[in-house]
Structure formats: structure tokens, C-alpha cells
């Protein structure tokens, strides 16, 4: 926990009346769902590689971000192999810095009184447990379209905003997601991340889903979903998977803490890869990573290999 937030976060948690929550791996009820970019599905923290934020705006120089789940040590360039069509090389590799992380949390208030307290406690621990240098803000579901405050390196405002939520009006996930996406700054190295809680069955139209996919891809934003709906939220779960994040189902009280912990681990396992390919724009990129526990692979296909504009959040 960051030292500057201990007092404020402690005060906010004191009134929640819940015991300390486990910060271990997802339990049997917390189903984390993710997909490779254009490839098969994988469990968060499992043995597959997630590829996202592919940037070909400076082609033939290609950049992309990968999440390497469960790597026990920091990985280097020689641990990665990139195959473009049939051409293989070792990319330059940089582990993403905690100082580049910008995160917008979009909680839900209409989950029931007991679940709300659990959500608030787990979210507070998640926010204060982020590494020093991370910038955070929280979306109030009662005021869609309005951010309560700017991104800040002090987690206390986000914690206070989260723990002060009351079960007043239904949370609209689409409005919260749109608001969260407006929170970020520009810059090619910014790690834009949205953590969205979906509390009730809310369908996404094809048009709305396409719009969110475009915004997530153009801004290089990873979406993580805590799916607390009775029947699942496949539209939002698919958005998360396609962005490089994942969706975690909430079935039991301990799942709030487990899924937030899985997100924390995922954020610490991301690497930026850069390589040059002078031939035509590739139809497929396959990344293989050698770790102490074996080799994991992921594939990004042509639909993902389009010019992203992470520096501005908009494509020109």
C-alpha cells in the first residue's frame, strides 16, 4: 500500500464492516475469461499469451504489447521470438513501467448492500495496492459523463469516491465505460486501463460494441470487466478479451478480491515489443515467449494489425 494513502484508505475501509479479503489467485468460483488477439481463449493467469495494442502507424516499425501470465522473472529480448508470416526475429523488449499506468475504475452501486460493501473493500485494496506512480480516477455511476476528478498519483480520492457510493440509481455500464475512456492523457507510452463492474444484464448493440472496440483499439486501452450479472454480460466480456484484458465472473463474495488480484498481476506482466518488417503489412504476427515454466504463444491476425494511434487516442 502506498504510504500517502494509508490513513485515508484505512478510514474509508473502517466503516465497511467486512473482514480482510484474500489476495490470492482466483478461487473456483471466479471465472476469468480472456482471448488472444484473434486466437483461442485463455484463462487469466493461465499459460497463454495475450497480444494487444498493436501499432503499425510507423510501419515498417511495428510495436505491440503482450501480457505474459505467470512469468516468474523479468523477461529479456532473447526470451521473445516474433514470427511475421514465415519470417522470425527477436524484438527489442521493454517491461512496461508502473509510472506509465493510468487507470479508471468504473464501479457499480446496484449490486445489493452486502455485495456493495465487498466490492468497495476489494476495490479500495486494489487501488491502494497499485505501484507507486500509477495514476487513478473513479467514475461515479450516478453521474455518467462527468468525472469526479482528474487522474492523480494519490489513490485516496479514488478510494473515497468508491467507498462513498450508495445504492441509489441503476448503474449503466455503457455510460460508465464511455466516461472512463475520456479520462486519459495523451502520449505514446501511457498504459491506459479501464476496470469496469457490470452489475446487471445489459446488452450491447452491434453498433455500440463496434464503437467501443474502435475506441479501445485506437487509444490502446486495456479493459478489465468484473461481471457480477446473474446471467453473464457476453458483450462486455468480449470487449475486454479483445482489448488485451479479461472478464472475471463474480459468483461468490471472495471473487471480488480474487478478480481484482488477477488484474493486479496482469498489469505487472505486460511488455512492449518492437520490431521491423520491411515487407508488406503482415497478415499475422505470432509471438512466442520462453519462460522458466515453458514456452507460451499468442497470435495477432490482420484484423488487429491496423494503425493504432496510442499517442493521441484518435486515428488520423
Query: What is the per-residue pLDDT across 136-188, written as a single tens digit (0 to 9) for each?
Result: 999 999 888 888 888 999 999 999 999 998 876 678 999 999 999 999 988 77
Given pLDDT bands bounded at 50, 70 and 90, which one contains residue 251?
very high
Residue 312 vs residue 196, higher pLDDT: 196
Question: Does 192 share its domain with 253?
Answer: yes
Q: Which residue has the higher pLDDT, 47 or 290?
A: 290
CA distance 10 to 292: 38
Within 10 angstroms of residue 215's Cβ, the number of other Cβ atoms is 18
CATH code at position 116: 3.40.50.410
- Report the distance separating Cα 83 and Cα 288, nearest Å: 8
Give dist(CA 256, CA 65) in Å, integer: 27
On the question of pLDDT at 112 being above 80, the answer is yes
| Domain match, 84 and 155 both | no
Residue 309 lies in a domain: no
Number of domains in the chain: 2
Residue 80's domain is classified under what CATH number?
2.60.40
150 and 260 belong to one structural domain: yes
| Residue 157, domain member (yes or no) | yes
User: Could you give the percent of the chain with pLDDT greater than 90?
Assistant: 43
Across the range 237-259, mean pLDDT stands at 94
Query: Is 215 or 283 the better-scoring residue by pLDDT?
Result: 215
Same-domain check for residues 239 and 140: yes
How does the average pLDDT of the chain come out, rounded? 79
Q: Quick one: pLDDT at residue 137?
A: 96
Strand 135-138 relative to strand 101-106, pairing = parallel
The reply to whether 215 falls in a domain is yes
In 127-138, which positions are buried (b, 16+ CB within 10 angstroms) versus exposed (e)? Answer: bbbbeeebbbbb
Per-residue H/E/C for the chain: CCHHHHHHHHHHHHCCCCCCCCCCCCCCCCCEEEECCCCCEECCCCCCCEEEEEEEEECCEEEEEEECCCCCCCCCHHHEEEEECCEEECCEEEECCHHHEEEEEECCCCCCHHHHHHHHHHHHHHHHHCCCCCEEEECCCCCCCCCCCCCECCCHHHHHHHHCCCCCCCCCHHHHHHHHHCCCCCCCCCEEEEEEEECCCCCCCHHHHHHHHHHHHHHCCEEEEEECCCCCCHHHHHHHHHHCCCEEECCCCCHHHHHHHHHHHHHCCEEEEEEECCCCCCCEEEEEEEECCEEEEEEEECCCCCCCCCCCCCCC
Whether the predicted pLDDT of 215 surpasses 60? yes
Residue 131 lies in a domain: yes
Q: Does residue 8 form part of some domain?
A: no
Q: What number of other Cβ atoms are within 10 A of residue 220's Cβ?
A: 27
- My answer on whether 290 and 225 are in the same domain is no
Residue with cell 500509477: 134
Other CB atoms closer than 10 Å to residue 297's CB: what's the count?
A: 16
145 and 110 assigned to the same domain: yes
Dump pLDDT digits (tens) for 77-111.
Answer: 999 999 987 889 999 999 887 778 999 999 999 99
Same-domain pairing of 135 and 261: yes
pLDDT band at 282 (very low <50, low <70, confident <90, very high): low
Inside any domain, residue 9: no
CB 13 within 8 A of CB 124: yes
Q: Are residues 81 and 144 in the same domain?
A: no
The reply to whether 45 and 67 lie within a common domain is yes
**Both 92 and 218 in a single domain?**
no
Q: Please indicate, yes or no, whether residues 71 and 152 belong to a single structural domain of this protein.
A: no
CA–CA separation, 266 and 69 (whole Å): 7
Write down the pLDDT at residue 225. 97
φ, ψ (nearest 5 deg) of residue 307: -60, 115
Residue 263 falls inside a structural domain? yes
Do residues 136 and 175 both lie within one domain?
yes
> How far is Cα 288 from Cα 28, in angstroms, rounded to an integer?
29
Domain residues for 217? 22-32+98-267
Distance CA(59)–CA(57), nearest Å, equals 6
pTM for the full predicted model: 0.77
* CA distance linking residue 245 with residue 263, whole number of Å: 8
Please determine, for residue 255, whether its predicted confidence score (pLDDT) is greater than 70.
Answer: yes
211 assigned to some structural domain: yes
Amino acid at each position: 500500500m502506498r504510504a500517502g494513502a494509508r490513513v485515508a484508505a484505512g478510514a474509508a475501509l473502517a466503516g465497511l464492516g467486512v473482514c480482510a479479503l484474500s489476495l490470492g489467485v482466483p478461487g473456483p468460483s471466479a471465472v476469468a475469461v480472456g482471448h488472444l488477439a484473434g486466437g483461442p481463449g485463455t484463462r487469466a493467469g493461465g499459460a497463454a499469451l495475450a497480444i494487444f495494442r498493436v501499432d503499425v502507424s510507423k510501419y515498417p516499425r511495428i510495436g505491440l504489447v503482450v501480457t505474459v501470465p505467470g512469468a516468474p522473472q523479468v523477461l529479456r529480448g532473447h526470451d521473445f521470438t516474433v514470427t511475421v508470416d514465415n519470417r522470425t526475429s527477436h524484438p527489442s523488449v521493454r517491461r512496461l513501467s508502473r509510472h506509465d499506468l493510468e487507470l479508471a475504475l468504473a464501479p457499480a452501486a446496484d449490486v445489493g448492500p452486502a455485495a456493495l460493501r465487498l466490492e468497495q473493500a476489494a476495490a479500495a485494496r486494489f487501488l491502494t495496492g497499485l505501484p507507486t506512480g500509477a495514476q487513478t480516477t473513479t467514475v461515479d455511476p450516478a453521474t455518467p459523463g462527468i468525472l469526479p476528478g482528474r487522474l492523480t498519483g494519490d489513490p485516496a480520492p479514488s478510494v473515497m469516491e468508491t467507498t462513498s457510493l450508495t445504492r441509489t440509481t441503476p448503474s449503466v455500464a455503457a455510460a460508465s465505460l464511455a466516461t472512463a475512456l475520456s479520462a486519459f492523457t495523451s502520449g505514446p507510452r501511457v498504459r491506459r486501463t479501464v476496470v469496469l463492474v457490470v452489475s446487471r444484464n445489459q446488452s450491447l448493440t452491434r453498433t455500440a460494441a463496434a464503437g467501443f472496440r474502435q475506441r479501445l483499439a485506437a487509444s490502446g486501452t486495456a479493459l478489465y470487466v468484473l461481471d457480477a450479472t446473474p446471467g453473464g454480460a457476453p458483450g462486455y466480456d468480449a470487449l475486454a478479451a479483445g482489448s488485451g484484458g479479461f472478464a472475471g465472473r463474480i459468483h461468490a463474495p471472495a471473487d471480488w478480491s480474487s478478480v481484482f488480484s488477477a488484474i493486479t498481476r496482469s498489469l505487472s506482466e505486460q511488455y512492449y515489443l518492437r520490431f521491423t518488417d520491411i515487407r508488406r503489412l503482415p497478415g499475422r504476427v505470432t509471438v512466442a515467449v520462453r519462460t522458466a515454466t515453458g514456452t507460451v504463444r499468442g497470435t495477432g491476425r490482420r484484423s488487429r494489425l491496423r494503425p493504432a494511434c496510442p499517442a493521441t487516442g484518435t486515428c488520423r
